[in-house]
Each structure stands twice: as structure tokens, then as C-alpha cells.
Structure 1
Amino acid sequence: MRRFYIDIATLDQDQVTLPPDESRHASKVLRMIVGDQMEIVNGTGVVFTGEITNNAPKAVVVKKMGFQKEKQDEHHIHIAIAPTKNNDRFEWFLEKATELGIHEITPILCKNAERKQIKNERFQKILVSAMKQSKRLFIPKLNELTTIDEFITKHPNGLIAHCYEEEERNTSIHKQLKRDSSNWISHNTPILIGPEGDFTLNEVKKALENGYQAVTLGKTRLRTETAGVYACMNVKLFFEER
């Protein structure tokens, strides 16, 4: 069944009118007609199942047939990651992390970052598209671009992956989760992923002084966007296997 997105707080109502862009897609692109059925989601864990009663190109009206709500995960996957110079690579990260079930994403501004500005509106559309395509019911929270210093102050205690010599002595994400998995349920425990030029030594030092644990992402050196997906997948697998 086709799935559409609407940005409203609740879908627990008798009928829903799709926004203009989704109405146009349903009516003009997919050529859906009165009587066709669809699913509508709003990114908060609910699915509104309904039947089209009016297929106007700018305001498709859907009458409720069913309503379901899914519980949010107990754990919380939060990746704080530096946007890449190539915007396509960061958008790839957003898409894949959403498919995997990430809960929160914070773009961070580091000294070695080559991209200083981002387009949150475009990124939000990518998250919505990935959520619909992957049949997930929760859309990740996308925060505004923030400096790494501000982020560490706001979120003390977490994990940080870096590429300095000490990396070989750092623990893996999986081992760190086994030691302290309760924090991932009761608190917001972010994972910091640096830019293409890596964090500076001062940034790593500040993180460690504020309760962060350095972790390794394996023996090979990963691109920023790959590291973000790798970290997300590690946390996801850990909690799925519990």
C-alpha cells in the first residue's frame, strides 16, 4: 500500500487532507483515484489507513479505515556528526541512518570541517523520504548545526571516535555498550563523528574531560558518512540482539 507523509501532531481523526506536494504526487504522478487506499504517517509512530474520497490535485481527502500506533524504542541512538564537504555524502548518511532507525542527528561544526553551513529544510525532506521508503514510523530528530564545544557542554558523557595513535587502545562501541547499556535507555548518549580532517587534539581532549569515552571503529579508516552509519548499525545490532 502506498505511504504518504503529513506534518501534523495527530492522525487520530475521521479524515485527513494531504498537503499540496503529497496530493499532487498521489493524484498526478501515481494517478490514484477515489476508492484507492493508502497509508498516512506523521513520523510519531502512527499509521492512518484510509480510502480516497476526493482526489483533487492540491488537496487529496482520505477517509479513515484504520489507525495503529507503534511504541518508540527504549534505547536512543544519537549521532553528532560533522557535515561532509560533498553534500551528497552527508545526504547519503541521513538516508541510511534513517533506514537503520536512528533517533537523533546533530550536525556539528568542528575546526577542521570544510562545510560551515547546511540546509536543514532539504535534509528534513531526505529524512521524510527515507522514513517512508523504509516503512519506518518515526522520523529522526534533526537538530540545528552547532559547534562541537556547545554540543559537548550540552551533552556531557558520550562516545567519540577519532583517528589518533591512541585509537588502537580504544574500546569498541559494542564493548562499551556491554559495560554501560543502561545509559542508552535512561539517558541521551551521543556518538561523536568528526570531519574529513578529523577532530583536533584539543577537541578530543575536551570531550574526554567532559566524560566521553574514546571508541574505535575498526582497523580501517572510514569516511565520515561511513563512520556515522557504522556507529549507528553497531548500536542497533546490540539492542536487537539483547
Structure 2
Amino acid sequence: MHLFYTPDITGDQYDLNTEESKHCIRVLRLQQNDIIQLIDGKGGLYDAKIVQADPKKTSLTIVNCVREYGKRNHYLHIAIAPTKNMERLEWFVEKATEIGIDEITPLICDRSERKEVKFERLNKIITSAVKQSIKAYHPQLNEQVRFKDFIKNSPGQRYIAHCMDGNKLQFSTDLIKHDRYTVLIGPEGDFTPQELESALSNGYQSLTLGTSRLRTETAALEACFELNFLNR
């Protein structure tokens, strides 16, 4: 069934915007009385009937609603240093959304080669992935923030994945299930020793993602997979 993202839905009637109406009628060739699905990004999954098939404003009537559709038993926030090649960050954002993630923050570190990200483009990629994977919850994408500011206000279990020597926790043995998690993933050159020390002093714990040296986006996706798998 065809799925549309409608974050502003409030009642039993809804009009698709011009872009979605055009896609619905001219591309998908849907007609009056056809049933489509809507998601509001806050857990609502709706069945809706087309009552006016207009490519400029398609009108719908809600016929069924499921609340908290696919609600997860944990909350995952990954703060990732933007990659020099934006396509790699976009790939992570897309795949993490498909696997399951709740919040993403671009993290500007001392060794970051990219200091800015295209917020609107990343958010569109998230929306597309939400629709593709039939997620009723839309992950929150935050504006970029500096490392030193971010680590001061992180709830739940806090981890920093890095390549430096020292004792590190493992998700498989040290995880407390069904909780809130914040995981920091550094830039291509890793966090600096000063950043690691600062994170540890703010309640973060060192984390290992295995013995392989992973790219930034791969490490972030590995953390995403591990936490979802262990909370399944």
C-alpha cells in the first residue's frame, strides 16, 4: 500500500499538499475511493480513503488509526562527526533510519574535516527512509553542535567509541537493556585525547566496536545495529 508522510495531521479529514497530491494522482495514478496509508512521524499509522482525486489538492478521509505503531523499547541517539564526503553521512542517515534510530546529531570535533551539514537534505533523506521502511516514528535530526557543548547534556547511558588504547566496554556484555543510549562517533582521524578525557569526565564510557578499524559512518551504523539487536 502507498505510504505518505503527513506530520501535521490532526483530525478525520486531511488534504495532501501539492507535491504529494501530484505524486499520488499523476505518478501513482490513484483514484477516488482508493485507500492509502499515512504516518505522522509521532507513532500514528493511518488508513485513509481518497475522496477527491485532485493533483493539486487530494482530499482524504481517515478510516482507521493505529497509535504507537512500531514503538521501540529503547531510545537511541547517535552523535556523529560529519564525514568529509557528504554521501557517506547521507548513507548512514538513510540506513540507520531503516534499521531503527530515534535521534541524530552532527557532532563537530577538533579533527572534523567538515564543519557544516545540509540539514534540509539530510532530513529529506530521513523522511524518505521512514516511508520506505514503514516507520511511524520520524527520527529527530538536530542542528550541528560542537563536541564540548554536546557532552554536557546527554541523558541515559553514554558511550564514546574510539580507537585509543585502554579498557573499553562491549555492548554484548555490558549493556543495560531497554534504556536511553547516547553514542559518540568521531571523525576520520578519531577523537583527540583531550576530547576523550572530557567525555569520560562527563560520564561517558569508552566503547569498543570490535577489532576492525571502521570508517566513521560504518562505526555509527554498527553501533546502531548492535543496540537494536540486543534490545530486540
TM-score interval w.r.t. the shorter chain? over 0.9
Query: Where is the helix percentage greater, Structure 1 or Structure 2?
Result: 1
- Aligned with 1:58 (options 56, 59, 62): 56
Alpha-carbon contact 1:6-1:19 (below 8 Å) kept: no
Rounded to whole Å, the distance in 2 between the matches of 1:197 and 1:32 is: 50
Identity %: 43
Rounded to whole Å, the distance in 1 between the matches of 2:113 and 2:35 is: 46
Q: Deviations over 1:34-58 (max 9, x none)?
A: 1221001111111111111112112
Count the aligned residue pairs. Answer: 230
Question: Is residue 196 of structure 1 aligned with residue 188 of structure 2?
Answer: yes
Which deviates further from its counterpart, 139-148 or 67-76?
67-76
Question: Is residue 217 of structure 1 aligned with residue 217 of structure 2?
Answer: no
**5+ residue gaps, structure 2:** none
SS of 1:43's partner is: coil
Q: Deviations over 1:144-203 (max 9, x none)?
A: 10001000112276100001133xx312122221xx33xx52xx4300000111111110
Alpha-carbon contact 2:73-2:231 (below 8 Å) kept: no
Rounded to whole Å, the distance in 2 between the matches of 1:40 and 1:134 is: 13
Q: Deviations over 1:9-38 (max 9, x none)?
A: x44x22211122211211121121212210
Alpha-carbon contact 1:37-1:51 (below 8 Å) kept: yes
Match of residue 144 from structure 1? 143
SS of 1:171's partner is: coil
SS of 1:50's partner is: strand
Match of residue 98 from structure 2? 99
Match of residue 14 from structure 2? 16
Match of residue 5 from structure 1? 5
Counterparts in 2 of 1:27-42, with a 5 A limit? 27-42=25-40
Q: Deviations over 1:190-227 (max 9, x none)?
A: 00000111111110110011111101110101111111
Rounded to whole Å, the distance in 2 between the matches of 1:14 and 1:216 is: 49
Which deviates further from its counterpart, 50-59 or 146-155?
50-59
Rounded to whole Å, the distance in 2 between the matches of 1:5 and 1:43 is: 7
**Aligned amino acid, residue 94 of structure 2:** E
TM-score by length of 1: 0.90
Rounded to whole Å, the distance in 2 between the matches of 1:218 and 1:33 is: 52
Q: Shift of residue 63 of structure 1?
A: 1.4
Rounded to whole Å, the distance in 1 between the matches of 2:213 and 2:171 is: 15
Rounded to whole Å, the distance in 1 between the matches of 2:160 and 2:56 is: 46
Which deviates further from its counterpart, 70-79 or 44-53?
70-79
TM-score by length of 2: 0.94
**Aligned amino acid, residue 46 of structure 1:** G
